[in-house]
Structure 1
Amino acid sequence: MKRFSIVLLLMFGSFIYAQEANTIYFNNEFLPNSEVGDVSKTTIGVDIPVINSNDKESFSVGASYQSTNLTYVDRDVPFETYQIEGFHTFALKLQYNRILKNNWGVTLMAQSQISSNFDEMDFSEKDLFFNGALIFDKLNEEKGSMWSFGVINDAQYGLYFPIPTVSYTKRINDSWAYKLGVPDSRVKWTWNKNSSFEAFTALDGFTGNINDDIEIYKEDYLGTLRQTSVVSGLEYNFNFWRNFQLNAKGGYTLYNHMEVQGYDNEEVYDFNMVNGWYFNVGMSYNLGKKVKLKSPY
């Protein structure tokens, strides 16, 4: 319990310090599933600019907290679900952006993350996840386009392995732009300077450690709960009071999977999630820009 309290203090200490953040954001996501159960996620986070040097490089520190709640409809699963109904995720992120020569840019991200049901009200090394990203951008100002490629490792996609990221972004005119690639693709229509609509397809998910034995098929298991979705839908963004943005999303999942995995990444139990609706509402506040190649999007 003492170690758990120290982690809370460190993470929320970062949050409190970050009141002068470049970006403060809040998101509430809801994924109902009539066959198995509902997944809801509430996230708050901040991003602190530490270095912003000569419009060439920037370094920022971010902290976030996510509460994930699962309400199970299917009570026929072969174990008591109360142990995996609530998860808490604390993250601390470092990000470095640099503009290189000839319209090249690079982004480096490293993140440590504690994600667990904290059933034991304590934590171990199994509650700790390390995420990272290395992404290169190549801007073509004349054509209003950009190529981006690299690799991302993020446990919150519900995957235990890194995934490649590649995308092509194109500005067609003042109103229309698109981005095609992985892990997300989207088309944007700018209605006016304050409002825009986007059609999107994106990877989403969740990973949390189950830090106490859970009895499945009358056997005790330790492992993780992983949920991965590919969501598609429509998003509305509204800018107000200069630096505030409100966004709302709604759509349907193209792929939806949740399972308990052992620490060897082998499946212990598959919940057989079916596709369903997806909703998300959020708000952010931006205090200023970070040094980064300006996307045509």
Structure 2
Amino acid sequence: MHTTSFQNISKVLCFLVFVFVSKLSNAQLTDLARLEYSFMPKNKSDDHYTRLRGLINYPIELKNDTYIVVGAEYNQILLNLEDHYPFDVSGLSKIHVIDLNFGYTFKWNDNWRVGVKFNPRVASTLTKSLVSDDYFMNGGVYLINDRTKDENLKRPYRLILGLTYNATTGLPFPLPFVSYFREINDKWSFSLGVPKSNLKYALNAKNNVQAFVGLDGYLAHLQEPSLVNGQQVDNISLSVAIGGLGYEYLFTKHLVGYLYTGYTFRLNNVLRNEKRDEIYKLDDINTFYLRTGIKFKI
């Protein structure tokens, strides 16, 4: 195989992971509001990563069980880089990811619902005025078979099939999306999909525990590019794969507090050039992970 072909294939495989952290998960389809804090230290270092996140979605009912959903999400990512680096890291300290959410859903037949989601995004350090490289376009089309309220089923389920497009992947075509949730009995349930799969156990009506695996991360444009190893750096990305345990407390049926803690089994924090080729690896050592917050869901 030619070197160029191998590099192209490697690039495709690397950026496939960003599809799964594009916030098109089942949780995002059902959350109406969320406030969240994440923390991840760099192993054997004073560096650490924190993220503050807030989102709101507002459904507008039309007729014939049809809805329009409008909303927004804001992520502020703080990179506390205390180690010594052979270049200026001041421009990397704060990253902003802003999404606008536009959705439309209608009943297709007795079992299936169609959903369309459109997400213009700004992902940037925002140290200057916005430029074209700060903008990204994401979206998806979904078929949803939700039988979780069907009293005739002994094991209710929800299946979501779709196609998603994410501008941060660098791929000019949509990719498949699958999410499957099923209740095993009154205590046990599971979800299979990306960016998160879990096995959940209900301790009682108010408390749930779970084991989970998931993906997290971002890609953003640097408005003040710098030279690293003689090459210009234009973008920064983080991708992590995590496994761990989670706890949920149900204040009401729809209002939930949660805490997830675990350890990464893949971590890649990278500075990239304009073509998104890797220039400098900030961190690739697995470490502790914490995420906590409160959400209001359907």
Q: Tell me the TM-score normalized by structure 1.
A: 0.79
- Please say which of residues 30-39 and 166-175 is displaced more in the overlay: 30-39
Distance of aligned partners of 1:225 and 1:248 in 2 relative to their CA distance in 1, 3 Å threshold = same
Q: In structure 1, what is the equivalent of residue 198 of structure 2?
A: 186
Relative distance call for 1:86 and 1:144 in structure 2 (3 A) is same
For the residue of structure 2 that corresponds to 1:65, the secondary structure is: strand
The 5-angstrom pairing of residues 71-150 of structure 1 reads: 71-75=80-84, 77-119=85-127, 121-139=128-146, 142=153, 143-150=155-162
| 1:41-56 aligned within 5 A | 41-54=51-64, 56=65
* C-alpha distance after superposition, 1:63-82 (max 9, x if no partner): 1221100112431x331111
Assess if the C-alpha contact under 8 Å between 2:233 and 2:271 holds in 1. no
Large movers: runs of 4+ above 6 Å: none
Asked if 1:171 corresponds to 2:188, the answer is no
Once the two structures are overlaid, the 10-residue window that deviates more, 248-257 or 28-37, is 28-37
User: Judging changes above 3 Å, is the alpha-carbon distance between structure 1 residues 241 and 176 closer, same or farther for their aligned structure 2 residues?
Assistant: closer
* 1:209 counterpart residue number: 221
Structure 1 runs not aligned, ≥5 long: 1-21, 290-297
In structure 1, how many angstroms separate the alpha carbons of the residues matched to 2:116 and 2:220? Answer: 24
Matches within 5 A, 1:283-294: 283-285=294-296, 289=298
Distance 1:163 1:257 in 2: 22
Q: CA separation in 2, counterparts of 1:26 and 1:53?
A: 31
Does structure 1 retain, via aligned residues, the 8 Å contact 2:213–2:241? yes
Show the counterpart of 1:15: none
Cα deviations by residue, 1:82-136 (Å, 9 ceiling, x for unpaired): 11111112221112222321412222111111111123x2110101111112222
Take 1:239 and 1:257, find their aligned partners in 2: how far apart are those partners? 34
Asked whether the equivalents of residues 34 and 73 of structure 1 are also in contact (C-alpha less than 8 Å), the reply is: no
In the alignment, is the contact (CA less than 8 A) between 1:199 and 1:233 conserved in 2?
yes
Deviation at 1:279, TM superposition (A): 0.3
Give the length in aligned residue pairs: 260
Would the alpha carbon gap of residues 184 and 243 (structure 1) be closer, same or farther in structure 2, given more than 3 Å must change? closer
**Structure 1 pair 45/138, CA: closer, same or farther in 2 (3 Å)?**
closer
Deviation of 1:26 after TM superposition, in Å, equals 0.5
Other-structure match for 1:236:
247
| Aligned counterpart, 1:19 | none
Note the C-alpha offset of 1:270.
2.0
Q: Aligned AA for 1:27?
A: E
State the partner residue of 2:79.
Answer: 70
Alpha-carbon contact 1:245-1:284 (below 8 Å) kept: yes
Q: Which amino acid aligns with 2:203?
A: W
Kept after mapping to 1: 8 A contact 2:227/2:233 = no
Q: How far is 1:182 from its partner?
A: 2.8
How many angstroms does 1:218 deviate by?
Answer: 4.1
| In 1: Cα distance, 2:248 partner to 2:38 partner | 16
Conserved 8 A contact 2:233-2:279: no
Q: Tell me how far apart the structure 1 counterparts of residues 283 and 175 of structure 2 sit (CA, whole Å).
A: 24
TM-fit CA distance, 1:154: 4.6
Paired position in structure 1 for 2:5: none
Percent identity of equivalent pairs: 22
CA offset at residue 160 of structure 1?
A: 4.2
* TM-score when normalising by structure 2: 0.79
Name the SS of the counterpart of 1:126 in structure 2: helix
Q: State yes or no: 1:58 paired with 2:70.
A: no
Paired position in structure 1 for 2:7: none
Bigger mean CA deviation after superposition, 95-104 or 201-210: 95-104
Tell me the residue number matched to 2:38.
29
Determine if contact 2:43/2:286 at 8 Å carries over to the other structure.
no
Distance change (3 Å), C-alpha of 1:178 and 1:71: same
Q: Secondary structure at the match of 1:271?
A: strand
Q: Please give the per-residue CA displacement for 1:23-53, whole angstroms capped at 9, x wherever unaligned.
A: 3321000111125631110011211122353
Counterpart residue type for residue 266 of structure 2 = Y
Structure 1 residue 241, shift from structure 2 partner: 5.4
Could you tell me which amino acid in structure 2 is paired with residue 239 of structure 1? L
